[in-house]
Chain A
Amino acid sequence: MTEQSTVFIERAGQEVGTAKAEAVGSGARVLIAKRAKAVDAYPAMDAMRDRSREIRLHTLANLDTYLAQFADAVEALGGHVFFAADAAEANQYIRGVADAADAELIVKVKSMVTEEIELNAALEEDGRTVVETDLGEFIIQLADDRPSHIVAPVLHWTRQDVGCLFTAELGVEYTEEPTELNQIARTHLRRIFLNADMGISGVNFATASTGSVTIVTNEGNGRLTTTAPRVHIAVMGMERIVPTPGDLGVMLEVLGRSSTGQALTSYTNTVTGPRREGDPDGPEEFHVVILDNGRSKVLGDEVSEILACIRCGACLNICPVYRVVGGHAYGDIYPGPVGSVLSPVLFGFEDREQLAYACTLCGACLEVCPPRIDLPGMLVKLRNRVVDDGDVFGWLNPAMSAYRFAATKPAVWNGSLRTASLAGRARPGGWFTRLPGPGGAWTSVRDLPRPAVEPFRTWWRRRDGT
């Protein structure tokens, strides 16, 4: 029996009950209510979700074709496309573009994929200044913290935390008034935007037929990042593709409502190539980096459906486990149900075996996922794999053998029930919170109900007289 990895359980144990985790829980509940209101107000939501699923599955099954079409379209517009096998290749290309552009000051709009490849660190190594411009990400960067939610990165921060941070890092007078904190960030970042040499964005959706990239934000930093600097680099996971603008429209109808409860976010920004002849403004250079970094492995896996994810965050908010443990317990940048499926397959199972168990199989995530990704089904598949590999919960195998032995032999079964009921009679009702031996592994994470004083079979015989 190999040692079981308790990395998630340990981290979760440290997080549960902290102010940080409580803040994530209450923030997530606000987002659940916002989503519910938006979905109720839109009678076409179910039909649109079904269509979004069809579009995503069709695209994944033909991903190579659509990627080729997209790259051709971008190049026809005078844009540049780079196919990156992994994080190192992506970072190297982006550093090269920055070199050629003499880019010292770089602005960024929140992007999970650039967090994944740790792009900021790579650029800073060359002595460049990289500034995150989404208010939440700006706070994270100033504090050297990690995001706790893929849409709302500082869900775990209170306004007082932000006030103290701004006083310490920006030298402003302390305030905890969100309107004033917002104004401080606006003033600070405005000059940076207008002076930046290069803007780096993620991509919500890339449209194959036109070579467009669409970036949705509420703050307007997505538009500033892709408009003010001379060079724009868009970095995308290779699965972000949709075939046509019509398909893009369907995805936009479900994304905002599922994510923040908005019919459309404040700015849905579609960029198709660099500044054109006669355009008064916009970037002169346009680059797209298409990243694999393990995605082709995921595509060939039994959980390939997870690549249909559009990163709305609805499964995080609705997850009873996420709301209690918060985002950091998961250990990777993709938390919640989507992270529990994606992270082990993308980054490797080592120390991530328990993520498949960070789930009650309640099914709430499937209920809210816009393209109806079978997250609970995939978590069960991953559990099977973890058990088959025998590297976690190894204690379960002898326990299950013992169960099989007892359950298939009536005499043994009845005997064991009588033994259990003796334990129940000693202290009737309630729960075992700590069991000795192999049972201890169960009770270290869950309680076990005490057996009934009288076994059901005995009660049934007595009642029925047979």
Chain B
Amino acid sequence: MERDAFLNRVRSSIGEATLPYGPTVDPGPLVPDLPDVDLLARFTEAVEAVSGTVHTDGVTAALNEIVASHGPGRLIAWNDEHLPVDGAVGRLTDAGCEVVSGDVPSDAEGRRNHQADYLDVRYGLTGAEAAFAESGSIVTRSGSGRPRMASLVPLVHIALLPTDQIFRSQMHWLTQPESDLAGAANVVYITGPSRTADIEQQINLGVHGPRELHVILVPA
């Protein structure tokens, strides 16, 4: 249907509608009034409640611990320049991990061939530009050197989060101008590992995305 005809039909229906009275201007966001808490403690508690892990013992110790428990494996990582500390990717390759390129060709054939290589990726290493204490979420943003697949296709997702980027809740982050939700092709709130409760409402982790989520705190 033509756009104008479609919208005209909507317009004339609005004329007939018996909607309860709503505000004439967009009411906009609401920043919730939540009790004051220790942001780091609340965030850690919330991440653990959704089966994630928070590491506070430094990047090197955390990365060593994670690789020790799963063994060396293939890795998709964000470029070092987009991670809040230097040398994180090197730490994993030193531990025996092999880097898989996250640069996907644009043509159909090249794309398929490249992505066929993602089947057995074990680790994903990304930054996190913000976190929400109330829900235990982290925020990742796509862009140059920041493949989306790094937080999606591996079994274990490792995210490096600067401690001064923990906000009280989603609304506290979203209502400040830096949030710029539509400033990239893809912005994701990640709240714990991939899960399903489709079979008898019983929770299972790692159905399509990562089975483990490790948030490593980086002191600001």
Interface residues of A (CB under 8 A from B): 23, 27, 30-31, 42-44, 47-48, 51, 53-58, 60-64, 67-68, 71, 81, 83-85, 89, 101-102, 133-136, 139, 152-155, 157-159, 162, 178-179, 181-182, 185-186, 189-191, 193-195, 197, 207, 209-212, 218-221, 223-224, 226-228, 230, 238, 243-250, 252-253, 260, 262-276, 278-282, 284, 290, 292, 296-297, 299-302, 304-305, 374
Complex contact B10–A249 (CB within 8 A): no
Of the candidates B7, B17, B152, B210, the one whose C-beta lies within 8 Å of that of A61 is B17
Residue of A nearest to B209 (CB): A220
Are A58 and B23 touching (Cβ within 8 A)?
A: yes
The answer to whether A219 touches B29 (Cβ under 8 A) is no
Q: Known contacts A179-B204, A194-B118, A244-B26; is A207 also within 8 Å of B182 by CB?
A: yes
Quick one: CB contact mask for B163-198 with A, threshold 8 Å, 1 for yes? 000000111001100010111111111111111111
Residue of A nearest to B11 (CB): A64
CA distance A267 to B152 in the complex (A): 10
Give the CA-CA distance A194 to B121 in the complex, in Å.
13
Q: Do residues B170 and A276 form an inter-chain contact, with CB atoms below 8 A?
A: no
Q: Across the interface, do A263 and B207 meet the contact criterion of CB distance under 8 Å? A: no
Indicate if B145 sits at the interface (CB-CB under 8 A). yes
Task: For the complex, give the distance between the alpha carbons of A162 and B118 in Å.
Answer: 28
| C-alpha spacing A174/B74, complex, angstroms | 31
The verdict on A44 contacting B144 (CB below 8 Å), with A135-B196, A262-B191, A300-B13 known, is: no
A134 touches B102 (CB 8 A): no
Q: Given the complex of chains A and B, what is the CA–CA distance between A374 and B184 in angstroms?
A: 38
- Chain A, Cβ-Cβ closest to B211: A186
**Number of A-B residue pairs at CB separation under 8 A:** 321
27 contacts between A and B (CB under 8 A): A31-B201, A58-B22, A63-B14, A67-B7, A68-B3, A68-B7, A83-B1, A136-B196, A158-B200, A186-B206, A194-B115, A210-B181, A212-B181, A218-B197, A220-B207, A224-B152, A250-B29, A263-B136, A266-B193, A267-B209, A271-B185, A272-B183, A282-B148, A282-B186, A300-B15, A300-B17, A301-B16
The reply to whether B208 and A48 contact each other, CB–CB distance below 8 Å, is: no
**B185 and A275 within 8 A (CB):** yes
Closest residue on chain B to residue A176 by CB atoms = B199
Assuming the A-B contacts A157-B199, A249-B29, are A223 and B22 also in contact, with contact meaning beta carbons closer than 8 angstroms in the complex? Answer: no
Task: Give min CB distance, B131 to chain A, whole Å.
Answer: 12
Residues of B within 8 A of A209 (CB): 182
Q: Tell me which residues across on chain B come within 8 A of A157, comparing CB atoms.
A: 199-200
